[in-house]
A and B are shown apart, each in its own frame.
Chain A
């Protein structure tokens, strides 16, 4: 069975500090990977997707970047956090362009 893990579970960071969020998928080779952001009480906004190692496509950047260093790993990062980065970050995977499965999410608070 496939499992998706996100880390950390929650972060409290200062404005201007760097950030790195991670996502790992186990039990599935060559998954398509996605990052989403959700403001408190809001909907999900797709940020990035990746269909292969080393390749990432941006949908909406929000002053964030993403990388896929390994087949099963997806990283979201920024060098300088903004207040507007606060929210809930979700990683997802799919086997093709279709059905998505989501991780448990990381809650980020920027102060």
Chain B
């Protein structure tokens, strides 16, 4: 079935630094959505992309429009409040209304 490989699995950043998270898909995907999960378990939607790029403040995400097999999330000038677990979720072509999540990236921003 459809698989999502998310990397890195864990990341520690100093405040003010930049980093990128990545999701690779084993097959062509229809869309991708990025989330941050906080300590209470709430999933906060960061971006939804069917193609191209989107930017919001210090966050920017891209979805490969040609082969549709990977997506990236860039964090610029990391802040303490960026800490959490980041997930990507891919919308599948193989079944309507089906979504596959990556394993997550545990991000810790340190002062």
A residues whose Cβ falls under 8 Å from a Cβ of B? 32, 34, 38, 42-46, 49, 51, 57, 59, 88, 90, 97-102, 104-105, 107
Contacts and interface: CB of A to CB of B under 8 A. Distances in A.
8 contacts: A43-B102, A44-B43, A49-B97, A59-B95, A98-B91, A99-B48, A104-B40, A104-B42
B69 to A, nearest CB: 18
A67 B106 CA distance: 33
A59 B96 CA distance: 11
Contacts of A49: 97-98
Given A43-B104, A44-B101, A51-B97, A100 B42 contact: no
Nearest to A100: B33
Interface string B84-103: 00010101000111111111
B91 A105 contact: no
Interface of B: 30-31, 33, 35, 40-43, 45, 48, 50, 87, 89, 91, 95-104
Given A45-B101, A105-B41, A100 B96 contact: no
